[in-house]
Chains A and B, each alone.
Chain A
Amino acid sequence: MRKITYPLAAVIIFFASAFTFVQSQNWKIEDNYSVKFDGGDPSGEFSGLKGTISFDDKNLTASKFDVTLDVASINTGNGMKNTHAKSEKWLDATKYPTIKFTSSSIAKTASGYEAKGILDMQGVQKEIAFPFTFGGNTFAGSFEVNRLDYNINTAEPTHGSAKFKVSVSVPVTKQ
């Protein structure tokens, strides 16, 4: 009996240690997501959302958002405004083709969760907080962005809106 004590202990520890590598659940972004921005005039949406979402409400430290938006996919509902938005004067889709958000931490809050991370837009990286909820396999939340913080057409700070409310709704399925 004594002979197998240590081998048995080794096997138990080996298998038990496997559970320490708990990975967060990966989620696949469904096609019917929406990323809308509202600044009065203009308002609209982006349709080119890609990236990886790892989220487990029981293991928030291992959870992470790493998503990008295709700037050229902007749609304000007006062709002229779309062309202007993608131009060098505004979002400069040629030089900065994507808007990126990478979370650094996700924490539980009273109303849901909050992801803190870096929003990379037009070559400017700023930390933002993104409060969101997760239910029915859908991430939903909103945050505010000031375009002047990202050097977007700073020459005309009063042209249109400077602050935009970004509302995100992303249905997902387990990977």
Chain B
Amino acid sequence: MFKKIFFQSLFAGILASIAGLIYNRIYLFATLADFSKVLNTGSIIGLNIMVCILAGMIYWILVKSLKKKGDILFGFLFSIISFACVMIPISISLPLKIQSPELFPGLGVPMVFFPVVAWFTIKPLFNLANIDI
């Protein structure tokens, strides 16, 4: 089961990264605000994969210990944590050399939802809801 969850998490991380990179390009094009010192190709891919792998590990622990209830609990937990993470791009203080910090939440806030969206988008493909837990 862990192998299946691991690959699901990895693919979710890759999907979230692709979405993040596309959104980053669109945002740069639309605002000309350069936040590459904070969010660049490396950090977007790294953060999304890290969050999805961590989510997968938590999912595995929850379904292992709470069975079906763990699956339901994980859905709520991942969504609530993602929503709470909205505060990170809003409250973070960027390096002073970065211009227009007021535009950073517009880039960062949608991105905090990419891992959770990708995770639940990928989930049916791996059919984890029907695996024998």
Structural contact, A83 and B98, CB atoms closer than 8 A: no
Q: Does A44 sit at the interface, judged by CB under 8 A?
A: yes
Structural contact, B96 and A79, CB atoms closer than 8 A: no
Which residues 64-90 of B have a CB within 8 angstroms of A? 90
Structural contact, B101 and A78, CB atoms closer than 8 A: yes
- B96: chain A residues at CB < 8 Å are 36, 44-45, 75, 77
Q: Give the size of the chain A interface in residues (CB under 8 angstroms).
A: 15
Structural contact, B94 and A80, CB atoms closer than 8 A: no
The residue among A41, A44, A80 with the most chain B CB atoms within 10 A of its own CB is A80
- A80: chain B residues at CB < 8 Å are 90-91, 102, 105
- A82: chain B residues at CB < 8 Å are 101-102
Q: Does B104 sit at the interface, judged by CB under 8 A?
A: yes
Smallest CB-CB separation from A78: which chain B residue? B93
The residue among A36, A41, A44, A77 with the most chain B CB atoms within 10 A of its own CB is A77
- B100: chain A residues at CB < 8 Å are 79
- A122: chain B residues at CB < 8 Å are none
Structural contact, A77 and B94, CB atoms closer than 8 A: yes
Cα A72 to Cα B77 with chains together (Å): 41
- B101: chain A residues at CB < 8 Å are 75-79, 82
Structural contact, A76 and B93, CB atoms closer than 8 A: yes
A29-45 contact mask (Cβ, 8 Å, vs B): 1 or 0: 00000001000011111
Cα A42 to Cα B102 with chains together (Å): 15
- A42: chain B residues at CB < 8 Å are 93
Q: Whole-angstrom distance from the CB of A41 to the nearest CB of chain B?
A: 8
Smallest CB-CB separation from B94: which chain A residue? A77
B92-113 contact mask (Cβ, 8 Å, vs A): 1 or 0: 1111101011111100000000
Q: Whole-angstrom distance from the CB of B97 to the nearest CB of chain A?
A: 9
Q: What are 23 A-B contacts defined by CB distance under 8 Å?
A: A42-B93, A43-B93, A44-B93, A44-B96, A45-B96, A75-B96, A76-B101, A77-B94, A77-B95, A77-B96, A77-B98, A77-B101, A78-B91, A78-B94, A79-B100, A79-B102, A79-B103, A79-B105, A80-B91, A80-B105, A81-B93, A82-B101, A83-B102
